[in-house]
Amino acid sequence: MTSVLVGVDVGGTNTDVILIDGESEETYKLPTTDDPSKSSALGVKEIVEQTDIDPGDIDTVLHGTTVGTNALIENEGAKTGMLTTQGFRDVIHIGRHRKAHTFSIQFEQHQQARPIVPRRYRKPISERIYPPGEVVRPLDEDEVLTATEELVDDGIESIAICYMHSYLDTTHEDRTKELIQEHYPEITVSTSNEVVNQFREYERFTTTAINARLAPVMQSYLDRFEQRLEGHGFGDAEVLIMQSNGGMASVREVNKKPITTMLSGPAAGVLSGQFTGRQADEEKLITLDMGGTSADISVVPGRLLERDPRDSKIANYPTVTQMLDVETIGSGGGSIAWFDDAHGFNVGPKSAGSNPGPACLDQGGQQPTITDAQVALGRIDPEDFLGGSIEIDPELSSEAIDDQLVGVVEGDPFATTERAALSTLEVANSNMYQSIREQTIRRGYDPREYTFVAFGGAGPMHACDLAEELKMDSVLVPPSPGIASAQGLLTGDIQYDNQVTVSQRLSRVDAETVEGRVEALEKRGIEQLKGDGIDIDERAELHHSVDMLYEGQGYELNVEYDGTDGDWRSRLRERFEDKHETEYGHYFDEDPIELLNIRVRATAESIPYEPTTIERGGEDPSDAYKRNSEVIFGDSRAPKRLDVPRYEREALVAGNVVEGPAIIDEFDSTVVVNPDWEATVQPNGAIKIHYTGENQ
């Protein structure tokens, strides 16, 4: 029997839904509600109502959520306390000696100005473990109970347990958790050895504290989501949540470690971009997921890149957890164009969101947005916005631009409505261009060798402009680009990452120690998969790697680990030196190397998802032709008013070729094919756009 899957991705403006049933697909989009569990569950209900499928036949609901991220950014979450080793109460206050702005006397240390756990709620406990795991001071259980009682009396809802060197011996943290749960079962508890079992106490303590703060929030949200699904008749469906590492996890595991979902939505977008590229036999990709509030940018050089844990931050707090390498900037369709007090022109990060939204929606918004600029330039069809389900008024877009931008400063770029709209797009594109350069050129990736994958509701409108700036000659737009992140949810495997610190010189660490740590991590990963009902023999896979660095280095590199057979130390050293040379251009063949962390990734393959194919035809796209309309191209100093054809994407067939300039309209997005570009429809419905001009 064919599995029926539903993917639900929550954005800042809209919630996107996709349903697959064998070879058929349905998509749906609705505004995100204040409580995203409401719009998410409603989206599942309404997309199922579009089909003849019984709610009880839905096998799995896959969900991408920003609840944890938003709670952290907005300084919300459960009232949190911390129990930590005596003498280390202020670790999360002191932080690192590095400053983001070294010479600024006004720079604010974020972890001090907005502490995850205020000092009065950080309680020191008598206990101490020294490397390599020696207990030099037993845990004082009476102190644990006294400190916990004080925290509970202060209204604490969640407690983080962070002891020194607990990654070498977890017994003190484990026993502390047992005591709290025994005497105060209503309190949520997070231990650092369960959240991030590795060294660097500042990052470990902070990550665990964030996890503790978010756990009650995420548990409450997922409870509401499941209850609403059950109320709509989907009580038998399995619910899986997208994690920051690009893997899916059960609700049970996410409730324990909500920290793993901080880049849930953006990670799904990267998976979708990779999936789209592979369908077109393209492996080297730059992905742009531009929605209503922000733009997520990632590089896929034939493989998914992960952030260096030392550089991973959410809301300016270090978060040591596996994350795909995604850069998010405040540039979306709802980003507001505005002048600051010095008459500097800005686009974003301020956003009109879904309420009031862009001015053209006539919901009270009076500030011009990127969407208003696109409407004023004739690129968005006011008669067919979201399939005609939402009315937009181009006059309101023009009025907002005229009132807020035209004539504010002297010069051609803001002399007319059209020029101001083009200026808005130029600044928005410049912001994204700079971010892409940082992700590519500054890291050794040449964009000219890559294909640009653009999706999200706004991405395909900016794709050709950005590709030209980056001197790229190929753009891919997936089918239904506005719900591409929801589609990405369908391609992720169930995945759990576990790690432990060893921190010994490679030449001295014995094989028995390494294998013992590997086996313990394998056991934990298998238990997680078993808890999800996975058949270990049929579906489970284990992937091993180690973090290594030269002694005295501050940053490690991750390399594959394949056991301790033969001359395993030489194999690891060779892999490390090869990677060090790739990353830094050199290596030191005689310097001692440290084996820092061991990592085991436990995965179970998801239900295979194959995209549908569309009807095939010739090159002539005239059957999809709607009409011609006036669209403005060029730049703010030399606008070009052109009469261009508009096509209905749903009517295009594989093999159709659309020469630019042209506009391709669809329910959830608009594809702008610039002059000197040519679009070809692929067998799966994706659109591949090639540059045909000169001097690219």
Distance CA 107, CA 114 (A): 14
Host H or E run for residue 112: helix 110-113
Q: pLDDT band at 383, cuts 50/70/90?
A: confident
Q: pLDDT band at 171, cuts 50/70/90?
A: very high
DSSP string, 202-230: HHHHHHHHHHHHHHHHHHHHHHHHHHHHH
Is residue 635 scored above 70 in pLDDT? Answer: yes
DSSP SS3 for 481: helix
3-state SS of 372-429 is HHHHHCCCCCCCCHHHHCCCCCHHHHHHHHHHHCCCCCCCHHHCCHHHHHHHHHHHHH
Segment 642-666 mean pLDDT: 96
Is residue 97 scored above 80 in pLDDT? Answer: no
Distance CA 118, CA 296 (A): 32
- pLDDT at position 679 is 98
State the angle between helix axes of 201-231 and 36-49 in degrees (0 to 180), rounded to the nearest 10.
Answer: 40
State the average pLDDT for the chain: 92
In this structure, are residues 206 and 191 in contact, taking their beta carbons and an 8 Å threshold? no
DSSP SS3 for 311: helix
Q: pLDDT band at 223, cuts 50/70/90?
A: very high
pTM for this prediction:
0.91
Distance CA 502, CA 508 (A): 12
- Counting residues of the chain whose pLDDT is more than 90, the rounded percentage is 77
Residue linked to tokens 């294998």: 515
In this structure, are residues 187 and 180 in contact, taking their beta carbons and an 8 Å threshold? yes
Q: Which amino acid is present at 179?
A: L
C-alpha to C-alpha distances, 394 to 235, 382, 418, nearest whole angstrom: 44, 7, 12
Distance CA 326, CA 634 (A): 30
Host H or E run for residue 521: helix 511-531
Q: pLDDT band at 339, cuts 50/70/90?
A: very high
Segment 425-453 mean pLDDT: 95
- Counting residues of the chain whose pLDDT is more than 70, the rounded percentage is 99
Most trustworthy range by pLDDT among 38-47, 291-300, 354-363: 38-47
Judge if the upstream peptide bond of residue 124 is cis by omega within 30 degrees of 0. no
Distance CA 350, CA 97 (A): 32
Q: pLDDT band at 89, cuts 50/70/90?
A: very high
Q: How many helices (H) and strands (E) does the chain have?
A: 18, 32
Phi and psi, residue 190, nearest 5°: -125, 125
Distance CA 253, CA 246 (A): 15
Distance CA 243, CA 323 (A): 8
Selection from 192, 249, 299, 310 nearest residue 554 by Cα: 310
The full set of domains in the chain, from first to last, is: 4-71+220-261 (3.30.420.40), 77-96+110-209 (3.40.50), 266-492+606-696 (no CATH), 494-604 (3.30.1490)
- pLDDT at position 169 is 94
In this structure, are residues 167 and 132 in contact, taking their beta carbons and an 8 Å threshold? no
Q: Residue 156: is it exposed, middle or buried by C-beta count within 10 angstroms (0-12/13-18/19+)?
A: buried
User: Which of 304-318, 425-439, 599-613 shows the lowest mean pLDDT across its residues?
Assistant: 304-318
Distance CA 122, CA 139 (A): 17
C-alpha to C-alpha distances, 419 to 93, 333, 460, 464, 488, nearest whole angstrom: 49, 18, 21, 19, 37
Is residue 352 scored above 90 in pLDDT? Answer: no
Segment 103-132 mean pLDDT: 89
Segment 331-355 mean pLDDT: 90
Distance CA 307, CA 321 (A): 9
Residues near 413 by beta carbon (within 8 Å), at least 6 away in sequence: 419, 420, 422, 423, 636, 637
Distance CA 8, CA 28 (A): 10
Distance CA 368, CA 271 (A): 32
**What digits encode the pLDDT tens for the residues 136-165?**
999 999 999 999 999 999 999 999 999 999
In this structure, are residues 269 and 454 in contact, taking their beta carbons and an 8 Å threshold? no
In this structure, are residues 480 and 668 in contact, taking their beta carbons and an 8 Å threshold? yes
C-alpha to C-alpha distances, 430 to 421, 445, 462, 472, 476, nearest whole angstrom: 14, 19, 11, 15, 20
Is residue 394 scored above 80 in pLDDT? Answer: yes
Q: pLDDT band at 695, cuts 50/70/90?
A: low
